Structure formats: C-alpha cells, structure tokens
Chains A and B, each alone.
Chain A
Amino acid sequence: MKPFVAIGASVPGGLAAVGRLARFAVTALMRLLQPPWYPAQWLQQMLVIGWLSLPVVGLTAIFTGSALAQQIFIGGSRFNAASTVPAVTVIGVVRELGPVLGGLMVAGRVASAMAAELGTMRVTEQIDALVTLRTDPFRWLVAPRILAAVLVMPFLVLVSNALGVMGGWLLATQRLGFNSAQYLATTARYLEADDVISSLVKAGVFGFFIALMGCYHGYHSGGGAAGVGKATTNAVVSSFILILLSNLVITVIVFGS
C-alpha cells in the first residue's frame, strides 16, 4: 500500500504546483496587455532567442533531415518504395521533426539560460532591487521573454523545416542517386498548407512553454548556486516534457481525424 499512499500524498502538492504555474502564466500574460511596456527588452530577447538560436537549430535540421532521408531510403527499399523519400521526408520534417527538434534545441539553449539568469537575479537580490526601483519584474523580465519566444519560434521553425528538407534533398541527390528537379517537384507536390500551419502553431506553443518554464523556475529559484542549478535543470526537463506532450495533443487534434 505504501507506494499508493506516497502517490496519493503527492497529489495535493502537484496540484498546488500546477496552480502556481498557471497563476504565474496568467500574471505574465496580463502584464503584456497593460502598459508600461519595455520594447527594448522585447527586441533584445527576440535577438537572444531567435537570431542566436539559428545556428544550433539550422545544424540540427540539416543533420536530421539527411539522416531521415537515408533511413526512409533503406526502409522503403525493403518493399520497393524507395521513391517515397522526398514525400515522407518533407511530411516528417515539416509536421514533426522541424518543430519538435527545433523546440527541444531552443529549450536546451534558451530555457536553461533564462532560468540561470533569473535564478541568479533572484539569489543576488536583483529582482528585489527591481521592485524597490518601482519596476515590475513581470513586465521587465518575464513578459518580454514570453512574447519574444512566441513570436520568434515560428520563424526559427520555418528555417528549421526548410533546412531539414534541404538536408534530405542534399543526401538524396548526392548519395542516393535521386534527380534533383524531380526530388524538389515531389516535395512540393506532397507539402500541404495544413502541414506548414500546424508546424507554425506548434512552434508558437513550444515558444510559450520554453519561456514560461525558464522564467518560472528561475523566478522561484532559491538556495544559492545549488538552487540556481536545480532551477536550470527543472526548466529544461519541464519544457522538454511540455513540448513533447503539446506536440502530441496538437498532432492528434490536427491530423487525428
């Protein structure tokens, strides 16, 4: 019985944590709707989250798109379906791998950095200093990060999708003997608007969760350097889980029927 007792005992704590997170998210979103706004903070965060994430997102997309094309070719060859490489690659990249891997890479880079920065600001009393200087930390720190992540993630995922497809095309034409023009024509024929739209919606949702988890865990960090380290780990792990869970939910809603 003991495991069940332990699970039961942890339920109220878990629900309270969800409640705290929801309140944190609502507070941040409400601050976005009311002045004062800090546009310089928004632009800086867009640069940090978007522009500086491009290399890691781009490289991930190229390598994954290439590997995917190779695996589809090997698998498809077993039942004479090797010609499906362009179609399956574009669907796989745009619907799933582009947004999910892009989201996970940005989460690894950005959620951890946000949690570490806000956590350090918390333990060094910089957040208290903001308050004493009559600046709302939610407006100055949290809202700009959430807004920037939601706005730039779709652009990052667009780039990720394009480079992923290009990686597949590169490997297929250089190594697997596919005709370049035919590969691109097939890719264009099988790519549908729903694929791109769902991909961008996923990106925006992932951006929200990445910034929310980074800010939430950093903002509530405590206990010195160890506390900041724990906040960073929690931010990355929780944003990974939320990305994968929300990806499943959106995929089932959009493509499940």
Chain B
Amino acid sequence: MTTPRIELAGVAKRFGSRQVLAGVDLAVMPGESLVIIGGSGTGKSVTLKIILGLIAPDAGSIKVDGQEVVGLNGAALDAHRARFGMLFQGGALFDSLPVWRNVSFALGGSIAARRASAVANLALVGLGADVADLKPAELSGGMQKRVALARAIAARPPIIFFDEPTAGLDPITAAVINDLIRELTTDLKITAVTITHDMHSVRTVADRVAMLHGGTIIWQGPLASLDGCDNAYVRQFITGSAHGPIRMPGAQR
C-alpha cells in the first residue's frame, strides 16, 4: 500500500474561544491534486499553515511521507519545510526585492545562476525576462500571482500548497492561473493541495475534493463524484445557494 504523502489525523486547533479545527482527518497521495473547499473562516488556511509548521496544532498527528512532523524544530523543521512550496493568497512577494530575487529567493549559487533560474521559472508561468528587474508593485495582480507561482515552484519541491490562487483576479486571468497550476502539477509531478472558494478552480485543478466545515472534513471524494454528491453542505456550496444547512455567522434564519 502506498504511503500517503501527507496524512492528518485528529488535528485540532483553537484560537481563544473559537474551535477552528476539531479533528481533521485527511490523506493526500503522491502526485495527487487535492482541493479543499469550505466557507470563509472554516480553517482551510490554518490547516495548510499547521502542516507547514507555521502554527502549532493543539492536538493530532501530521505525517509527511510517513514521518511525524508535529513538534519538529531547528534543522529538522527546516528540512520538513524544504519539501514544500507555497503560493500565498495575496502572493506575499517581498516588496523590497525585484522579481528575479523573489523567484530565486530560496535558491543557492552565484547571482548569474540564480538570475538565470529565475528567468527560466518565469518562462514556465508565461512571463518574459523583461519583468525580472521590476519590483512587485509595478506588476498587475495577475502577474504578481504568476511571479508567486514561479517562486513556489523554483526549488522544485515535491509538494505545493495553493492558498486561494485566483482570489481577486478577473475570470480570464483566474482561468489562466488555474490552467498553469494544472499543467505545472502534472508536468512536474507535484503533489498539490489547493484551497479555494472558486468552483472553476476546483473543476480545473482537482483530482479529489474535500470539504471542511465545522472544523472537520465532512465529505471527500474524486472530482467526478462532486456533482452527484448527496451531502447537503457540499450541494449548497457547489451551487452557491443562500438556502441550506450552511449559515453565515450572524445571519437571520
């Protein structure tokens, strides 16, 4: 039996009086593209940050390639993080550095080698060498997302997390980003976990879909089974209906 690339068991996290995660069980197989859907504030980003070791869980186990990673620190934690690339929701590009230094930030070698690598990775996401010396603030939102994508893949990590990759983008740019993610994960044989509200993203990027609600995974299955799913929460989410079991916090019943 193949060992899951990422395996979460009973992961819980509370912020003050708010129980964000209440026992998340989830497995991602090597080379699989999993999309986690769920409403705002359901703990999707927290789940990714807990796996990366940016936030410590209150309880539960996280294994990457069969090795427990909860409680790692120092060099072991660095080695754990080296297996991941991350595309943050807002891009999180370093404002003070030009594009090429952002893309090659985690790479070693001479300046010339790092710059050449940055330009090659920019080409993979459809950007020319002419943007390499620009500052992130000089780029459009879509171009910033592409640069962030180039940075996430630059070190060729075996696992990449995409946090709301199409948030704030127009539909055409969002479609381009979705296609890029699909191509890159397939071509580079990367295990990907994407969190999104965008159903177009889900249908383009996912091999498998999981829904996070109430701090737990309430449904998961292959993309092909999503539309035929009879889970009322999932149905409400994928149809974008205001009527159903999911209520906005503070909404009148």
* Chain A interface (Cβ < 8 Å from any Cβ of B): 120-121, 124-126, 128-135
Q: Which residues of B have CB within 8 Å of A121? A: 94
Contact B92 A131 (CB under 8 A): no
Task: Compute how far the CA of A171 lies from the CA of B169 in the bound complex, rounded to whole angstroms.
Answer: 61
Given contacts A133-B105, A133-B106, A134-B82, contact A128 B49 (CB under 8 A): yes
Contact A125 B78 (CB under 8 A): no
Can you list 14 residue pairs at the A/B interface with Cβ under 8 Å? A124-B90, A124-B92, A125-B92, A126-B92, A126-B93, A126-B94, A129-B88, A131-B52, A131-B54, A132-B54, A132-B81, A132-B86, A133-B105, A134-B106
Q: Which residues of A have CB within 8 Å of B86? A: 128-129, 132
Residues of B48-62 whose CB lies within 8 A of A: 49, 52, 54
Q: Which residues of B have CB within 8 Å of A131? A: 52, 54, 81
Q: Which residues of B have CB within 8 Å of A125? A: 88-90, 92
SS class, residues of chain B in contact with chain A: loop
Q: Which residues of A have CB within 8 Å of B90? A: 124-125
With A126-B92, A132-B86 known, 16 other A-B pairs at CB within 8 A are A120-B95, A121-B94, A124-B90, A124-B92, A125-B88, A125-B92, A126-B94, A128-B54, A129-B86, A129-B92, A129-B94, A131-B54, A132-B54, A134-B81, A134-B82, A135-B105
- How many A-B residue pairs have C-beta atoms within 8 angstroms? Tell me: 41
Q: Is B237 an interface residue (CB 8 A)?
A: no
Contact B88 A128 (CB under 8 A): yes
Q: Is B162 an interface residue (CB 8 A)?
A: no
Task: Compute how far the CA of A129 lies from the CA of B93 in the bound complex, rounded to whole angstroms.
Answer: 8
Per-position binary interface string of chain B over residues 62-95, scored 1 when its CB falls under 8 Å from any chain A CB and 0 otherwise: 0000000000000000100110111011101111
Interface size class of B (residues with CB under 8 A): 10 to 19
Task: Compute how far the CA of A130 lies from the CA of B86 in the bound complex, rounded to whole angstroms.
Answer: 11
Shortest beta-carbon distance from A180 to chain B in Å: 47
Q: Which residues of A have CB within 8 Å of B92? A: 124-126, 128-129
Task: Compute how far the CA of A128 lies from the CA of B153 in the bound complex, rounded to whole angstroms.
Answer: 17
Shortest beta-carbon distance from B46 to chain A in Å: 12
Q: Which residues of A have CB within 8 Å of B85? A: 132
Query: Considering only CB atoms, which chain B residue lies closest to A132 in the complex?
Result: B86
Please list the 10 inter-chain residue pairs (A to B) with the smallest Cβ-Cβ separation, ordered nearest first.
A129-B92, A125-B92, A133-B106, A132-B86, A125-B88, A126-B92, A133-B105, A134-B78, A124-B90, A128-B54
Query: Considering only CB atoms, which chain B residue lies closest to A44 in the complex?
Result: B96
Shortest beta-carbon distance from A44 to chain B in Å: 9
Query: Considering only CB atoms, which chain B residue lies closest to A130 in the complex?
Result: B94
Given contacts A125-B89, A125-B90, A125-B92, contact A132 B52 (CB under 8 A): yes
Shortest beta-carbon distance from A29 to chain B in Å: 18
Q: Which residues of B have CB within 8 Å of A129? A: 86, 88, 92-94
Shortest beta-carbon distance from A224 to chain B in Å: 12
Task: Compute how far the CA of A120 lies from the CA of B93 in the bound complex, rounded to whole angstroms.
Answer: 12
Q: Which residues of A have CB within 8 Å of B78? A: 134
Task: Compute how far the CA of A135 lies from the CA of B106 in the bound complex, rounded to whole angstroms.
Answer: 8
Task: Compute how far the CA of A113 lies from the CA of B253 in the bound complex, rounded to whole angstroms.
Answer: 47
Query: Considering only CB atoms, which chain A residue lies closest to B82 in the complex?
Result: A134
Task: Compute how far the CA of A128 lies from the CA of B53 in the bound complex, rounded to whole angstroms.
Answer: 10
Task: Compute how far the CA of A130 lies from the CA of B78 in the bound complex, rounded to whole angstroms.
Answer: 12
Query: Considering only CB atoms, which chain B residue lies closest to A128 in the complex?
Result: B54
Task: Compute how far the CA of A4 lies from the CA of B92 in the bound complex, rounded to whole angstroms.
Answer: 46
Task: Compute how far the CA of A133 lies from the CA of B84 in the bound complex, rounded to whole angstroms.
Answer: 9
